[in-house]
Amino acid sequence: MSLPVVAIVGRPNVGKSTLFNRIAGERIAIVEDKPGITRDRIYSRAEWNGRAFHLIDTGGLEFEEKDEVLEHIRHQAELAIEEADVILFAVDGRVGVTATDEEVARLLRRSGKPVVLAVNKLDHFKHQDQAYEFYQLGFEEVVAVSSLHGIGTGDLLDAVVSRFPEREEEEYDKDTIRVAIIGRPNVGKSSLVNRILGEERVIVSPVAGTTRDAVDTPFTYEEQDYVIIDTAGMRKRGKVYESTEKYSVLRAVRAIERSDVVIVVLDGSEGVTEQDKRVAGIAHEAGRGAVLVVNKWDAVEKDHQTMQRFTRTIREEFAFMDYAPILFISAKTGQRVTRVLPAVKEAADQHAMRIPTAVLNQVLRDAAMSTPPSTVHGRRARIQYGTQVSVKPPVFVLFVNDPELVHFSYIRYLENQLREAFGFVGTPIRILLRKKK
Ligand code: GDP
Ligand code: GDP
């Protein structure tokens, strides 16, 4: 199920990042479930009335330094138009309509994308009339808000959610493995795609893309259908923001959202960067299968311990993704590239794996027997039974006498036990607790 993308645009200082934090705030606190995931102030998952979505603050993007303000927010708007389903256009209600607001409004109107106008900094009810003048920008949805005090943001989000597109039809057969290849600019994503598609037994389908504008590349390998998501976008070159790192995060969100398995490409000659962890973190939170690929291995000066050392570093830096296999490859020479698709296939299979309830409960019982939950104020959690409620990724619900008694480290323990028993290589799994009535 693909989540909509909401992008915030607007002049500097109108309160975009305040609004971003207001909308994403609670979520950011909740999702700190695994160590090592890097948060940043430009991307978050968010939720309103049970509808989850991706939120992006384009104001936090840096483009070229010489950019003038107007140029800068033109780029923001361009990006939002390209990547977002709904655009949250923020203006300063105290300052009134400025020439820059008008310019941005023109761009946004021309795009035909749904726009919700947030007239910010109206902290008091008596100031709300000041929102009216913004109707001249030509948008139907104009909402007075105070991001600072959280006033009106509910109405704002109602308006945003009401503009979400209808759920899209499944684009591909459910047995087709949808693969997103993500990573910073220049790590070798395009080179890897070309290598894979050039492999002898890979048969690229003649008709590229179905419902979307031919950005995907379907192919078959060993009787398995695959599609590489968003290849055209990935190959697109020359735009000013294409080389900026944070942009690659934004670009990756939608590709991750449409995929089953994500190949996270790292540059072996440069090591791990914060940006690498950000995109990997998004894939993890989205519950996608993952394969970590260290590219440019040909360009790394090596001794017999280099691969081990690198593996250790990756395990530390990507601790939240300890389930992902790691491959050391060279898209340039072709070294080990033939292992990529089999790793993707395995991750996809495990991502879709269903464990029979009886077997699951045997493992849970054994786990509780060998290490019972510790007592809290003299009371001990009892896991009555568990069941797998969904796949892609696998989600387990465990019924417990009192979920409050279960420490997160115990859930981690159970996850490890499930992995030991069933593998789940290349896929995150989720464990939820419910109170047994
Ligand atoms: P950005 O540059 O658009 O991301 O703007 P910021 O979120 O950094 O906010 C710019 C300034 O406006 C900060 O000093 C904020 O505290 C302030 N601000 C943001 N939202 C509000 C609001 O709703 N009311 C008031 N009074 N100030 C706000
Ligand atoms: P993308 O921006 O992630 O799609 O990266 P590209 O595929 O365009 O590659 C960026 C640069 O890295 C190009 O100059 C490639 O020739 C080079 N490159 C890609 N893969 C490898 C590799 O395995 N080894 C070496 N040495 N260079 C590579």
Give the start-to-end residue ranges of the domains of the chain. Answer: 5-162, 177-352, 357-435
pLDDT value at 213 more than 60: no
List the one residue out of 341, 316, 336, 352 whose CA is nearest residue 425.
352
- Bridge partners (DSSP) of residue 179 are 228, 261
- The band of 209, judged by pLDDT with boundaries at 50, 70 and 90, is very low
pLDDT value at 327 more than 80: yes
**Whole-number Å distance between alpha carbons of 326 and 321:** 11
| Contact yes or no for 426/323 (Cβ under 8 A) | yes
Using DSSP bridges, classify how beta strands 5-9 and 217-221 pair: parallel, antiparallel or unpaired: unpaired
Report pLDDT digits (tens) over 260-283.
999 999 999 998 988 889 889 989
Which CATH entry fits the domain spanning 177-352: 3.40.50.1110, 3.40.50.300, 3.40.50.80, 1.10.20.10? 3.40.50.300
**Whole-number Å distance between alpha carbons of 77 and 105:** 9
Atom of ligand 1 nearest to the CA of 147: 23
Report pLDDT digits (tens) over 339-376.
999 999 999 999 999 999 999 999 999 999 999 988 88
What one-character DSSP code corresponds to residue 252?
H
Whether 300 is in the pocket of ligand 2, judged by its Cβ within 6 Å, is no
Look at 97-101, 252-256, 286-290 and tell me which has the smallest mean pLDDT.
252-256
**Whole-number Å distance between alpha carbons of 287 and 93:** 39
**Whole-number Å distance between alpha carbons of 326 and 12:** 41
User: Is the interface score ipTM higher than 0.85?
Assistant: no
Q: Quick one: which ligand is closest to 93's CA?
A: 1
Whether 178 is in the pocket of ligand 2, judged by its Cβ within 6 Å, is no
pLDDT value at 177 more than 90: yes
At the second CATH level, the architecture of 357-435 is: 2-Layer Sandwich (3.30)
Taking residues 409-430, what's their average pLDDT? 96
pLDDT for the residue numbered 429: 97
Whether 205 is in the pocket of ligand 2, judged by its Cβ within 6 Å, is no
pLDDT for the residue numbered 101: 93
Atom of ligand 2 nearest to the CA of 265: 3
- Bridge partners (DSSP) of residue 396 are 388, 431
Atom of ligand 2 nearest to the CA of 335: 23
Strands (E) located in 43-114: 43-48, 51-57, 86-92
The more confidently predicted of residues 186 and 233 is 186
Place of tokens 């009886």: 358
Whether 14 is in the pocket of ligand 1, judged by its Cβ within 6 Å, is yes
- Going by alpha carbons, the residue nearest to atom 9 of ligand 1 is 15
Q: What is the mean pLDDT of the chain?
A: 87
Using DSSP bridges, classify how beta strands 5-9 and 86-92 pair: parallel, antiparallel or unpaired: parallel
pLDDT for the residue numbered 29: 43
| Contact yes or no for 204/219 (Cβ under 8 A) | yes
Using DSSP bridges, classify how beta strands 375-376 and 379-380 pair: parallel, antiparallel or unpaired: antiparallel
pLDDT for the residue numbered 122: 96
Look at 81-85, 107-111, 164-168, 180-184 and tell me which has the smallest mean pLDDT.
164-168
| Distance from the alpha carbon of residue 120 to the mean position of ligand 1, in angstroms | 8
Q: Which helix (H) or strand (E) holds 434?
A: strand 430-435
Q: What percent of the chain stands above pLDDT 70?
A: 87
Comparing 5-162 with 357-435, is the CATH topology the same? no
| Distance from the alpha carbon of residue 100 to the mean position of ligand 2, in angstroms | 39
Report pLDDT digits (tens) over 34-69.
455 555 567 888 889 889 898 988 876 655 555 577
pLDDT for the residue numbered 45: 84
Angle between the 69-83 and 245-257 helix axes, to the nearest 10 degrees? 20
Which residues, including other chains, have CB under 8 Å from residue 121's CB and lie 6 or more apart? 14, 15, 92, 93, 94, 146, 147, 148
For 99-134, give the DSSP string.
Answer: HHHHHHHHHHHHHT--EEEEEE---SGGGGGGGGGG
pLDDT value at 238 more than 50: no
pLDDT for the residue numbered 149: 93
List the one residue out of 42, 17, 82, 38 whose CA is nearest residue 254.
82
The more confidently predicted of residues 103 and 31 is 103
The more confidently predicted of residues 170 and 421 is 421
Tokens of 212: 């979307």
| Contact yes or no for 386/367 (Cβ under 8 A) | no
For 187-208, give the DSSP string.
Answer: SSHHHHHHHHHHSTTEEE-SS-
What one-character DSSP code corresponds to residue 146?
B
Q: Which helix (H) or strand (E) holds 367?
A: helix 357-370
pLDDT value at 33 more than 50: no
**Whole-number Å distance between alpha carbons of 47 and 29:** 13
- Half-sphere exposure of residue 386: CA atoms within 13 angstroms, side-chain side: 30
The more confidently predicted of residues 389 and 245 is 389
Place of tokens 């259908």: 225
pLDDT value at 235 more than 60: no
Three-class secondary structure of residue 174 per DSSP: coil
- The band of 379, judged by pLDDT with boundaries at 50, 70 and 90, is confident
The more confidently predicted of residues 1 and 425 is 425
Whether 59 is in the pocket of ligand 1, judged by its Cβ within 6 Å, is yes
Report pLDDT digits (tens) over 129-167.
899 999 999 999 999 999 999 999 999 999 999 999 886
| pTM of structure | 0.80
Task: Give me the long-range contacts of 95-101 (CB less than 8 A, separation at least 24).
Answer: 96/130, 96/133, 97/133, 97/134, 97/136, 97/137, 98/11, 100/11, 100/69, 100/70, 100/73, 101/10, 101/11, 101/134, 101/137
| Distance from the alpha carbon of residue 186 to the mean position of ligand 2, in angstroms | 6
Tokens of 272: 């791990």
**Whole-number Å distance between alpha carbons of 421 and 225:** 28
Among 16, 18, 153, residue to substitute to test ligand 1 (most atoms within 8 Å of Cβ) = 18
Q: Does domain 5-162 have CATH number 3.30.70.20?
A: no
Atom of ligand 1 nearest to the CA of 90: 3
Taking residues 225-250, what's their average pLDDT? 64
Place of tokens 């323990």: 413
